[in-house]
Amino acid sequence: MEIKQSEFITSAVSPNQYPKDERMEFAFVGRSNVGKSSIINSLTNRKSLAKVSSTPGKTRLINFFLINNTFYLVDLPGYGYAKVSKTERQSWGKIIEPYLFKRPQLKRIVLLVDSRHKPTEDDILMYKWIKHYGYEVIVVATKKDKLKKSEISKNEKLIRDTLELSKDEKIMFFSSLSKEGKEELLDVLFI
């Protein structure tokens, strides 16, 4: 799969603001500061298609990006950032849940986890929710460039055990900085 064209279409907080066409959608979900916007920019070869912030929790809307005029990549608000109020965290859930629960165009969900750390309780809950509702999930461990080669298999085991992945479920490692894992993710995402 080669991405030749990408454009921001809209931001939404409720279903009536989602794109009205029937194009397939592939959503990226993960905790704040895991690199959702960075991975979208890396996949599309655009430095600022999705806004990247040094302050976690800045993505507060569902952002739709039209790719090759045929499908959408969807950047969901991050979860689990401790420095926002409980009310604000709940409002993000009210934005994310209707999208994940009632969107027939949604084909796959990419769950991003930080390759350097054990998945959080929020990551575990999100993974279980995705599986419970029968979505295809691709687990991507971000920030691979921050790991030593000797740490990769140990961290893969930690992620696999924490999320209770089966042996046939794959974890992909990705670096937005070096774009390592980009081709593999594009191939798996659009099978």
Is 155 inside any structural domain? yes
For position 69, which CATH number holds? 3.40.50.300
Is 1 inside any structural domain? no
CA dist 107 and 103 (Å) reads 9
Distances (CA, A) of 181 to 17, 44, 63, 72, 176: 33, 13, 23, 20, 9
Domain extent, residue 40, equals 6-189
Is 58 inside any structural domain? yes
Is 73 inside any structural domain? yes
Number of domains in the chain: 1
**What pLDDT score was predicted for residue 93?**
65
CA torsion, points 21, 50, 187, 164, in degrees to nearest 10? -100
Q: State whether residue 64 is helix, strand or coil.
A: strand
CA dist 49 and 66 (Å) reads 11
Q: Kindly tell me if the per-residue pLDDT of 154 is higher than 90.
A: yes
**What pLDDT score was predicted for residue 20?**
94
Instruction: Work out the burial of residue 16: count CB atoms within 10 Å of its CB; fewer than 13 is exposed, 13-18 middle, 19 or more buried.
Output: exposed
Q: What is the pLDDT of residues 74-117, one digit of tens each?
A: 998 887 654 555 555 555 667 888 888 878 999 999 999 999 99
Is 77 inside any structural domain? yes
Is 182 inside any structural domain? yes
**What pLDDT score was predicted for residue 87?**
58
**What pLDDT score was predicted for residue 159?**
96
Q: What is the pLDDT of residues 27-75, one digit of tens each?
A: 999 988 888 888 999 999 888 788 765 554 455 789 999 999 999 999 9
**What pLDDT score was predicted for residue 115?**
95
Matching residue, tokens 């969107």: 103
User: What pTM was computed for the model?
Assistant: 0.89
Contact 106, 25 (CB under 8 A): yes
- Count the helix, strand and coil residues of the chain and give each as a percent rounded to the nearest 5: 35, 25, 40
Selected residue with higher pLDDT from 87 and 154? 154
Is 172 inside any structural domain? yes
Is 90 inside any structural domain? yes
